[in-house]
Structure 1
Amino acid sequence: MGHRVNLLFCICLSLILVAAAARLPNYGVWKGTATFFSAPRSPSERTALLTIRDGKTYHTSPAPTPPPNIDILATLKMEAPEIHDSRIVYWIDRNFTASLVSDSFLLANLKPGYHEIPSTEEDPHSVPGLDMVANGHIDMRKGVFGTHNVPGHVEDVTNVMKSFFEPAIEAQADIWVWGQRGENGKGLVMHHVQMNQGHSGTLAEENGRDQDGGVIVRCHDHWEALFIAFPQQAVITDEAGEPVGDVLANIVGRG
């Protein structure tokens, strides 16, 4: 009897821990048109800025007068927060054919604007959350290390990101940005446009499944995608997004 009680307690505790797993508040996807991109080379600037427009006017709180610009800002990390290894890992797919863009739910049918993604959503026709570990959209081993403001390095993140976003802006392409919606005092912002699981240390509080950030662009006759992570993040995680496997720093480029 005691064994059964203990087993039941362990099962309940596991379910509670999974249910209580960190979830980024206001996690969702924003669809719009890419309008501007800036990736500063200054050592003091560690974030690239992308603006998108969805044809709507938003009032932040408190509502400013006049109404805010309809461009929404998305921030993309150009450096990892680790002082001893500030590289990022990125994946750019110039011909993205994953189920996310080809299965029954079509991103193309999503209306412009922000769409929150509930953690318990199970409708196969609803907007999906991203999970870089479980979804199979990328091969973790085929990531590329990128540096910011390091002279002589070929894979400079500034150049890489510009090569991805500038053609999309010129073509006025539709763009989908997954991340955390917020405000910066001047308007609406999408933060955490990177992998949000597999962290250790202070960033572990952000761990969770199906809540990764990313960017997908629809070009004239194909799709392209950009995903970002940090070398210190694990490539295998549990149901709560906690690290249980090796980190990207040890596996990228080895497959």
Structure 2
Amino acid sequence: MPLAEYGVLVGRVRDRRREGGKNSPHYQIHVDAAGTQFRVAVNVLSALAPSELLYTADEDFTHPLLPALATVSDGFTALPSTPGGLALDFIRANLFDRTALRTLPADQPGPDNDLADKLDHYIQRAAADPAARLYAFGQRWGPEPSTPDKVFGFSPGNGVHDIHMNQGNTGRFTADDGVWQDGALILAFPDRWVAVFLAFQSQAWHTDDTTGHTLPGIPPADPDGHPAPGEPDRQIRIIAALVNPTGPAPEPETVTLLNTTAGPVDLTGWTLLDRAQHRGPLPSVLLPAGDTARLRVPPLVALGNNGGTLTLLNPAGLKVDGVAYTTAPEGRTLAF
């Protein structure tokens, strides 16, 4: 079943501690959330082989969820696991490009060469800036009135964990599967947002829209989490969209697709999704290899002028590509 209490913790970073060893080490973060103390436990090594985590960081993160996220008060806020709000989903929310993921060792000698070093870079910067805020998405535990925190010693024990992808699991961890409940670290600095995304190599990138379980018949990703031969990812790319045409509504919004494959692709049965997961069919056109097509956005798909997402699904319902945008100047085509 999905995570029991999914949400986002907002607060100021006070301290951090690196854990070594092989017994499921974590990178521990002490957060003060309006006077209530929390520990954020970030996995840096998997309990399942292969053990190294997949990691990517966006040092100038933009996404349509950020304006609403900035209004969340310090403390833990439970979130419904539904689209269109603040809940995260690595597959469906178009938060980052999965080909940017890289494997990193948990902790090893030398500077800037392991996952703990990468986390240190952002967390220590946040701790040094009183204006910075950490947004930790994951599952809450506690409070535990009779048990002080085992790492930082504050009482009562209180915290957030599962700061990673929480779907497409294998073995005993399939019980944690769900959609719109992925974990991440997002940091707000005075001049920008920074986002850190983590996943396990054993997790799948095509999952059931209801359960979050791995879909059958999809080949496993390569060791860096990149699409393997046989996965549909990026075969057709969303390269542009006219979200806010000049003139009164209803406006003729368009999307431009590029066929990256070696052969023609029939778009019959292909669909587009918006941020709320409204789905509309594409016209039945044949897109030659290497060619582009500019198509009308289906009427059921709503593209907001103040930000949104656009996702492309093949006839099997598998995600092929997805983009996000935050602004849409009138008459301007957005390039992705």
User: Following TM superposition, by how much is the alpha carbon of 1:188 offset from its aligned partner in structure 2, in angstroms?
Assistant: 0.8
Change over 3 Å in CA distance of 1:154–1:34 after alignment to 2:
closer
1:252 aligns with 2:217: no
Output one character per residue of 1:72-127: Cα deviation in whole Å (capped at 9) or x when no partner: 10100010111x421001111100011221xxx521111111111123x57x5xx5
Gaps of 5+ in 2: 149-156, 228-233, 235-336
Give the conservation status (yes or no) of the 8 Å contact 1:88–1:229: yes
Output one character per residue of 1:56-80: Cα deviation in whole Å (capped at 9) or x when no partner: 3xxxxxxxxxxxxx32101000101
Give the conservation status (yes or no) of the 8 Å contact 2:68–2:86: no
Aligned to 2:213: 242
Aligned to 1:156: 114
Moved more, 88-97 or 245-254: 245-254
Aligned to 2:167: 197
Change over 3 Å in CA distance of 1:188–1:247 after alignment to 2:
farther
Q: Which has the higher strand share?
A: 2
SS of 2:34's partner is: coil
Give the conservation status (yes or no) of the 8 Å contact 1:232–1:249: no
Aligned to 1:136: 94
Give the conservation status (yes or no) of the 8 Å contact 1:39–1:161: no
CA–CA distance in 2 between the matches of 1:35 and 1:152?
25
CA–CA distance in 2 between the matches of 1:176 and 1:159?
19
Change over 3 Å in CA distance of 1:248–1:146 after alignment to 2:
farther
CA–CA distance in 2 between the matches of 1:226 and 1:253?
17
User: Following TM superposition, by how much is the alpha carbon of 1:246 offset from its aligned partner in structure 2, in angstroms?
Assistant: 4.2
1:224 aligns with 2:197: no
CA–CA distance in 2 between the matches of 1:139 and 1:158?
22
Give the conservation status (yes or no) of the 8 Å contact 2:24–2:46: no
CA–CA distance in 2 between the matches of 1:36 and 1:88?
23
SS of 2:117's partner is: helix
User: Following TM superposition, by how much is the alpha carbon of 1:250 offset from its aligned partner in structure 2, in angstroms?
Assistant: 4.2
- The amino acid that maps onto 2:7 is G
1:113 aligns with 2:75: yes
User: Following TM superposition, by how much is the alpha carbon of 1:159 offset from its aligned partner in structure 2, in angstroms?
Assistant: 0.9
Give the conservation status (yes or no) of the 8 Å contact 2:54–2:224: no
CA–CA distance in 2 between the matches of 1:171 and 1:153?
23
CA–CA distance in 1 between the matches of 2:19 and 2:3?
27
Moved more, 106-115 or 225-234: 106-115
Aligned to 1:182: 141
SS of 1:168's partner is: helix
Q: Which has the larger radius of gyration?
A: 2
1:52 maps to which of 24, 27, 31: 31
CA–CA distance in 2 between the matches of 1:248 and 1:171?
38
User: Following TM superposition, by how much is the alpha carbon of 1:178 offset from its aligned partner in structure 2, in angstroms?
Assistant: 0.7
Output one character per residue of 1:199-219: Cα deviation in whole Å (capped at 9) or x when no partner: 011111110000111111111
CA–CA distance in 1 between the matches of 2:182 and 2:122?
19
User: Following TM superposition, by how much is the alpha carbon of 1:149 offset from its aligned partner in structure 2, in angstroms?
Assistant: 3.5
Change over 3 Å in CA distance of 1:76–1:248 after alignment to 2:
farther
Change over 3 Å in CA distance of 1:247–1:218 after alignment to 2:
farther
Greater relative contact order structure (CA < 8 Å, 6+ sep): 1
Please give the root-mean-square deviation of Cα atoms over the aligned residues, in Å: 2.3
Aligned to 2:123: 165
Change over 3 Å in CA distance of 1:141–1:188 after alignment to 2:
same
Give the conservation status (yes or no) of the 8 Å contact 1:236–1:246: no
Identity rate, percent: 23
Aligned to 1:90: 55
Give the conservation status (yes or no) of the 8 Å contact 1:52–1:72: yes
- The amino acid that maps onto 1:118 is P
- The amino acid that maps onto 1:96 is F
- The amino acid that maps onto 2:136 is V
User: Following TM superposition, by how much is the alpha carbon of 1:40 offset from its aligned partner in structure 2, in angstroms?
Assistant: 2.7
User: Following TM superposition, by how much is the alpha carbon of 1:51 offset from its aligned partner in structure 2, in angstroms?
Assistant: 1.2
CA–CA distance in 2 between the matches of 1:216 and 1:168?
11
Aligned to 1:36: 15
Give the conservation status (yes or no) of the 8 Å contact 1:147–1:153: no
How high is the TM-score relative to the length of structure 1?
0.76
- The amino acid that maps onto 1:106 is A
- The amino acid that maps onto 2:52 is R
Give the conservation status (yes or no) of the 8 Å contact 1:235–1:246: no
User: Following TM superposition, by how much is the alpha carbon of 1:150 offset from its aligned partner in structure 2, in angstroms?
Assistant: 4.6
SS of 1:106's partner is: helix
